[in-house]
């Protein structure tokens, strides 16, 4: 599969909604769905890398699929609120780079022991 730009992903989700989804859920519903999807990611992470064990019903869940669900809902929210994620992400990375230029490198908690 060819690489997918953020802009193309936003267009793809919008086309999918219009073709298969009838319309976007309202923003509050999508926020609730996003919270649910993030919870599913947390469940997999806690059972894979943490101390909890998987329940039988969760053994078929895949992290990649759940992360994709999170991305889909984030894109839905961006589309319906007029956010260009390409521009927003670029601005956010610039902000982080300026703000955290030395912060993490100077954090003694992150030093390799």
Residue 58 pLDDT > 80? no
pLDDT at residue 113, rounded to an integer: 66
DSSP 31-100: HHHHHHHHHHHHHHHHHHTSSPPPPGGGTT--HHHHHHHHHHHHHHHHHHHT--HHHHHHHHHHHHHHHT
The answer to whether position 79 is within a domain reads yes
The answer to whether position 94 is within a domain reads no
The answer to whether position 16 is within a domain reads yes
The answer to whether position 51 is within a domain reads yes
Count of structural domains, the chain: 1
Helical (H) or strand (E) element with 61: none
Cβ neighbours of 6 (radius 10 Å): 17
Comparing 27-41, 51-65, 73-87, the range with the smallest average pLDDT is: 51-65
DSSP 105: T
The answer to whether position 102 is within a domain reads no
* Calpha distance 64→70 (Å, rounded): 10
The answer to whether position 112 is within a domain reads no
The answer to whether position 32 is within a domain reads yes
CATH label of the domain that carries residue 58: 1.10.287.1080
* Calpha distance 11→7 (Å, rounded): 6
Indicate the pTM of the whole model.
Answer: 0.87
Residue 1 pLDDT > 70? no
Give the domain range for residue 77: 6-83
């Amino acid at each position: 599969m060819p690489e997918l730009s953020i802009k193309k992903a936003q267009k793809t989700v919008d086309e999918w909604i219009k073709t298969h989804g009838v319309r976007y859920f309202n923003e509050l519903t999508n926020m609730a769905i996003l919270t649910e999807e993030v919870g599913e990611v947390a469940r997999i992470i806690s059972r894979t890398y943490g101390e909890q064990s998987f329940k039988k019903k969760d053994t078929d869940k895949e992290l990649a699929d759940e992360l994709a669900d999170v991305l889909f809902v984030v894109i839905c929210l961006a589309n319906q609120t007029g956010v260009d994620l390409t521009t927003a992400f670029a601005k956010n990375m610039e902000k982080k780079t300026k703000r955290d230029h030395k912060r993490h490198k100077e954090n003694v908690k992150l030093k390799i022991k």
